[in-house]
Amino acid sequence: MAVASRLRIGVFGGTFDPIHFGHLRMALELHQQLALTRVHMVVASVPPHRDQPVAAPAHRLAMLQRAVDHHVGLQADDRELRRTGPSFMIDTLAEFRAEYGQEAAICLAMGADAFAGLTGWERWEQLLDLAHLVVMARPAAPALSAQLQTWAHPHWSDDHEAALTDTPAGRILRVELSQLAISATAIRAQFGAGSDPGFLLPDTVIDYIEQHRLYVEQGA
């Protein structure tokens, strides 16, 4: 049933080790392009699909909170830190669904590279029961496997507005968002090497990192 007024919730997960302007610009553009009510930026505690983060979860959350402090559309979200064990996105989406109800459009944002690896995610085929997938173009993203192409085919939607109005979940949307050439790995190396990472991440986050002496062992 088409519902023009349904809540539109964005979900953007990451290790945010540390949060930087690449993440923040991306979240802001997502918020604007899809006219989302808010974007939950969900800090992963134990990401199942990648190397373990350097900074402790509480520090990564504190940095994220400082970064989005004055932005009403972006919300630092610690729900995965409050669970034990690996942070499976399917469980996180189930929590959002329970919280926002059956009518809210929930939009899980991911890079095209992450989307290409979707079949490795826990209970991946159920993701679309709970949310829309919003796939952000990334440079040099790998090709989709035949299995993923076949699964995704009936769900692609080019009309974002129609998709989010028509249904609370189940579509796959493509979006083009700015890709600032900023990497958390490179930022950690800069802190480790004692060089100035100014203008790559908010000053409030730089102050926090310096105050807590995070990433001092990360010299490249």
- Which of these segments, 19-27, 85-93, 157-165, 193-201, binds ligand ATP (CB under 6 A)? 19-27
Residue 200 corresponds to which tokens in the numbers above?
A: 């790559």
- Closest approach, Cβ 56 to ligand ATP, in A, equals 15
- Which of these segments, 21-29, 149-157, 192-200, 203-211, binds ligand ATP (CB under 6 A)? 21-29
**Binding positions for ligand ATP, 101-140, rule CB under 6 A:** 110-111, 114
Query: Under the criterion CB under 6 A, does residue 15 sit at the interface with ligand ATP?
Result: yes
Query: In terms of CB distance, is 23 or 59 closer to ligand ATP?
Result: 23
Closest CA to 125 of 137, 134, 135, 133: 133
174 three-class SS: strand
| CA-atom Rg of the chain in angstroms | 17
SS3 content of the chain, % helix, strand, coil (to 5): 40, 15, 45
Interface with ligand ATP (CB under 6 A), residue from 9, 24, 26, 127: 26
How far is it, in rounded angstroms, from Cα 77 to Cα 44? Answer: 10
Q: State the DSSP code for 144.
A: P
Interface with ligand ATP (CB under 6 A), residue from 8, 10, 11, 23: 23
Q: How far apart are the first and last CA of the chain?
A: 53
Query: In terms of CB distance, is 3 or 81 closer to ligand ATP?
Result: 81
Query: In terms of CB distance, is 23 or 160 closer to ligand ATP?
Result: 23
Residue with the CB atom nearest ligand ATP in the bound state: 22
- Closest approach, Cβ 47 to ligand ATP, in A, equals 7
How far is it, in rounded angstroms, from Cα 108 to Cα 89? Answer: 9
Lookup result for tokens 């134990």: 46
Binding site for ligand ATP (CB under 6 A): 14-17, 22-23, 26, 110-111, 114, 179-180, 182-185
